[in-house]
Amino acid sequence: MGKRSRQRQKNQNASRDDRDNAGWGAGYADIIKENKLFEHYYKEQGLIPEGEFHQFMEAMREPLPATIRITGYKSHAKEILHCLKEKYFKDIQELEIDGQKIEAPQPLSWYPDEQAWHTNMSRKLIRKSPLLEKFHQFLVSETESGNISRQEAVSMIPPLLMKIESHHKILDMCAAPGSKTAQLIEMLHSDMDVPFPEGFVIANDVDNKRCYLLVHQAKRLNSPCIMVVNHDASCIPMLQIDSDGKKDILFYDRVLCDVPC
């Protein structure tokens, strides 16, 4: 038993070393963002003037900005925000990496309480640059503990418009991978005077494997107000609940349906 245990530990350490060497030390292969069929299709549509097509394609090749969202209902959300602003963001704004000047991260003006931020750094740049290693490790650690979510800005908009309250029953019909689901759960808990909200989120997805991503997202938040369902959203059955000794059909206060393209 002891010999097998030592060998297993040795293999795990070797595997961990391989991951470390493949992380900050090793580079990332450049992806050639070129697709002739894609370009031909859009040229045939006649939507873009011929003189602007090259500019259009260059814009399409630009990486998305990195965006993060702070989990607002956590008791130490203000501490996380203070740490980001006073420690990591200040160190970042003077950097220049691979000829690219890093702009100081800015809050998304339409997201409340400075809880969402964006920067011109791509996720690839954050992962690969040794100069950003501490910032990357901070993001990974706080994401795993549920204090921060890395989420595209456009994905944050639908939950904001739904005006979630703590008693709402919410159905997220095509929920995986779960960024918006996590945001909905967060909004249920936004009233600090209500430690256990009456409301809940039912997060559904047709893909069984992607449902595991939903579970992973939800577990980070330690909320009892979530149920994950694996079903085809186009024919999801009505649920029944026990109410005063009789069964009633469950009706939802909010429904989010972000259907895959």
Give the count of domains, the chain: 2
> Residue 65, annotated ligand binder?
no
Same domain, residue pair 131 and 163: no
Integer Cα distance of 178 and 176 in angstroms: 5
Does residue 53 form part of some domain? no
Query: How far apart are the two ends of the chain, measured CA to CA in Å?
Result: 52
- CB 168, CB 254: distance < 8 Å: yes
Is pLDDT above 60 for 14?
no
- Of 150, 175, 205, the one marking the end of a domain is 150
- Of 150, 166, 185, the one marking the end of a domain is 150
Place of tokens 């791509």: 122
Does residue 180 form part of some domain? yes
| Residue 175 binned pLDDT confidence (cut-offs 50, 70, 90) | very high
Integer Cα distance of 189 and 20 in angstroms: 37
| Residue 175: CA count within 13 A, CB half-sphere | 32
Of 6 and 124, the structure prediction assigns the larger pLDDT to 124
Does residue 86 form part of some domain? yes
Same domain, residue pair 247 and 163: yes
> Residue 179, annotated ligand binder?
yes
Does residue 110 form part of some domain? yes
Which residues neighbour 220 within 8 Å (Cβ) at sequence distance 6 or greater? 143, 144, 145, 146, 182
Complete DSSP assignment for 183-239: HHHHHHT--TT-SS-S-EEEEEES-HHHHHHHHHHHHHHT-SSEEEEES-GGGPPPP
> Residue 257, annotated ligand binder?
no
14-23, 78-87, 154-163, 232-241: range with lowest mean pLDDT: 14-23
Question: Any idea what the CATH number is for the domain that residue 219 is in?
Answer: 3.40.50.150
Same domain, residue pair 144 and 161: no
Integer Cα distance of 156 and 130 in angstroms: 29
> Residue 177, annotated ligand binder?
yes
Does residue 127 form part of some domain? yes
> Residue 260, annotated ligand binder?
no
| Residue 206 binned pLDDT confidence (cut-offs 50, 70, 90) | very high
> Residue 232, annotated ligand binder?
yes
Q: How much is the average pLDDT of 188-206?
A: 91
Interval 177-189: pLDDT, tens? 999 999 999 999 9
Within 10 A of 174 (CB to CB), how many other CB atoms are there? 18
| Amino acid 20: pLDDT | 37
Q: How much is the average pLDDT of 231-242?
A: 92
Boundaries of domain holding 115? 66-150
Does residue 25 form part of some domain? no
- Of 150, 179, 195, the one marking the end of a domain is 150
> Residue 83, annotated ligand binder?
no
> Residue 180, annotated ligand binder?
yes
Does residue 32 form part of some domain? no
Residue type, 154: V
Q: How much is the average pLDDT of 43-51?
A: 92
Same domain, residue pair 184 and 228: yes
> Residue 18, annotated ligand binder?
no
Beta strands 96-97 and 100-101: pairing type?
antiparallel
> Residue 104, annotated ligand binder?
no
Same domain, residue pair 81 and 164: no
Is pLDDT above 90 for 41?
yes
Same domain, residue pair 180 and 130: no
Same domain, residue pair 86 and 167: no
Does residue 17 form part of some domain? no
Same domain, residue pair 91 and 164: no
